[in-house]
Amino acid sequence: MNNIHISYDLFVPGQNYEGLIAKIKTLGNYAKIQKSFWYVNTTLTADQVATALWSIMDKNDSLYVVDASNKNASMRNVATSNYIIEQWNKSSVAA
């Protein structure tokens, strides 16, 4: 099982909070940590979770999914994604 953290921002138009929350709840055991931050325990990978959620989100929304069990992440429309990946890879090499 994977420990997945999901963070998102929904921007106008659309803002389908109900649909996104319903989808998150189908992924596995879950806990809502903050308004737009969730924990899910699932067999899915970070990329599988991101793909499932992104399919119902608007293309101007932002999604950040981290698999804490396997130390990887999947992002959609995150302005700092290149920076995060660069820093993530540096810390992996240093370990």
At 54-93, the pLDDT tens digits run: 999 999 999 999 999 999 999 999 988 888 888 888 876 5
Pick 95 or 6 by higher pLDDT. 6
pLDDT value, residue 81: 84
Determine what percent of the chain is predicted with pLDDT higher than 70: 96
* Cα 35 to Cα 7, 38, 50, 79, distances in angstroms: 9, 8, 18, 20
Placement of tokens 């649909």 in the chain:
19
Q: Whole-prediction pTM value? A: 0.89
Of 72, 24, 83, 10, give the one whose Cα is nearest residue 46: 72
Give the pLDDT band of residue 51 (cuts 50, 70, 90): very high
What is the pLDDT at residue 58? 93
pLDDT value, residue 85: 85
Q: Which domains, ranges and CATH numbers included, belong to the chain?
A: 2-94 (3.30.70.240)
Mean pLDDT of 16-24: 95
